Amino acid sequence: MGKYTNLAKDIVTNVGGKENIVSLKHCITRLRFKLKDESIANDDILNNMDGVVTVMKAGGQYQVVIGNHVTQVFDEVNQVLGITDTTDSDNSEENVEKQGIFNAFIDVISGIFQPILVALSAAGVIKGFNTLFISLHWYSQTSGTYNVLNAIGDSMFTFLPILLGLTAAKKFNLNQYVGLIIGASLCYPAIQLDTLSKAGKPLYTLFSGTLFQSEVYQSFLRIPLISMNYTSTVIPVILICYFASKVEKSLNKVIPDMVKFFFVPIITLLVSLTLGFLVIGPLATFGSNLVGSAILAVRNFSPLVAGALVAGFWQVLVVFGLHWGIIPIYFNNIVTNGFDNVMMPYYCTTFITSAVLIAMLLKNKDKSFRKVAIPATISSLLGITEPAVYGVLIPKKKPLLISCIVSAIVGGFYGFFNLRKFAMGGMGFFELPGMIDPKTHSMSNVYIALIGIVLSFVLGFIATMIFWKEDPSKDKVVTSQNDDEKNVNVSQELIQTPLEGKVLPLSEVKDEVFSKGYIGKGLAIEPTKGEVISPVNGTITTFFPTGHVIGITSDSGVEILIHVGMDTVNLEGKYFTPLVKKGDKVTVGQKLLNFDLEGIKKEGYSIITPVVVTNSAQYKDVVTVSDNGKNLLSVLV
């Protein structure tokens, strides 16, 4: 059962049932029914229903106002009505206009990691300090103090798939408890390769003599089960949850309502996790092996190039979990050769990440950003970069690219000068003792490492200061407190005027959804020119096929809705010429839409255009800006 299934059933019942519905569409906030007999609909019940904002009747439509989650309710209503093809809805661009692969990946990773960033940062700092105290010999690695702090700091990283199972389930609209079980199953001890290899000899070996050689310790229904260590991994749980969401959605369509509660999660778990253990896990293993073999081949050709590749792609490898293809090489080299010089070029990435974050903190004073960036910086300085990568670098995009490029430069330096480490253990600065040659007591590797650290900080900091800029539409204003005459800094996002024309209060809009502020605070504009420009730097998150509604999310997260005219959805795109599409990055002043002002008027529609901040509740206030007319609204953070 979906989140809005009961609401959808109640709505269908109270608009007069399926037999009273002629057609159904939706726009940005409301379900638009055409009913055979509107008098049958129970207006009072619908108005007082949880999940319904209000009911309106206009233009021959019975409109049930839902709010921002209208698309999910629309889908559930169609399920109740037995309609599976909704491509004719006003939101059909969801199925047509796809984000670019890179932007889609960033959106998924950011959405999955955002909810756990605070905890991830906290665990990273604790883990880093525990390593620091061990290096300072404040207590031993066998002490209870170490074990308690290690449990606190390391548990989140060890059992990361469980947390990601929850957040990935939310992202992919999967039952959240199913996501938790998927993550927990991946961490189950009896599944891990380390556990199996210690318990006994393999049954047999697959792909012997090849790069994909795998020892099989157990089977599933006589199918070989290629095991790997899933704890601390990222990609397997995300892929399995994504597949599970598709399985669950398909099952909800075919399994009768009376047994969905029982059978849908059972079948979803069995199908998704079986495929996960048999296919997704082995593919991740083979991917790791390919990465490791490729690095070794390149190093044999050129240590400088190999060092640049290892360091330059290290953050990307960590994101995909493919760094596990290099770590075994590191362990094997130290045990077999007494040192490692293959993986060590990655050493610079922790310091470059720290330098990038420090530069960003100097340029971005936003409180919400600093809450994530400051602990991530501390964690990075101590050698734990995951909070920085997932919390800052990936969402901001350009800093990730900067860190990768600078890492490649310094990694090439380390590769060329053959940086070596002789003992395992330590992170960040506390890896330096392991670079002292135990046979000759030579400090040469320590000196090389220190030079690289200096280069990392200098190049990472300078590159970020030059090439990364915070959102130019965001700045600070100072207001005076008359009581104590203290100055208070207030962060604001300035929303520029997207249309030329007369500015009006929302109360002038002849639509209660806007005039009463149901979907957010803002203003209205009576346009004098048929042109819409972008009021912020951001991304087009909604652009209806009819062209009358544009949704933009600014780079800092403010969600802006521009609704050209009232009931203009009924024009079905006539008089509107979109110039961008969903997923496009836009800049302040960029033209988004042309529309025929006079043509819309002649059709009898109001041209008054609301401009509202739909996530107003997340901010202190949304106020009118009194300046030369360039800016329309100020969102106070």
* Residues designated as active site: 27, 563
Using CA atoms, how far apart are residues 178 and 78, in angstroms rounded to an integer?
Answer: 24
- Contact between 54 and 47 under an 8 Å Cβ cutoff? The reply is yes
Where are the extended beta strands (E) located within 137-267? Answer: 204-206, 214-216, 218-220, 223-225
Place of tokens 């991530």: 376
The contacts of residue 105 (CB under 8 Å, 6+ apart) are none
- Contact between 339 and 438 under an 8 Å Cβ cutoff? The reply is no
| Sheet with strand 576-578: strands edge to edge | 531-533, 591-595, 576-578
Per-residue DSSP letters for 15-83? Answer: TT-GGGEEEEEE-SSEEEEEES-GGGS-HHHHHTSTT--EEEEETTEEEEE--TTHHHHHHHHHHHHT-
Nearest of 355, 590, 362, 589 to residue 469 by alpha carbon? 362
Q: Which amino acid is at 395?
A: P
Which parts of 518-557 fold into alpha helices (H)? none
Using CA atoms, how far apart are residues 581 and 585, in angstroms rounded to an integer?
Answer: 9
Structural tokens at position 283: 């593919």
C-alpha pair distances (Å), 219 with each of 51, 223, 225, 284, 396: 48, 5, 5, 18, 43
Nearest of 632, 635, 633 to residue 499 by alpha carbon? 632
Using CA atoms, how far apart are residues 563 and 263, in angstroms rounded to an integer?
Answer: 43
Place of tokens 């009896």: 190
What radius of gyration do the chain's Cα atoms show? 29
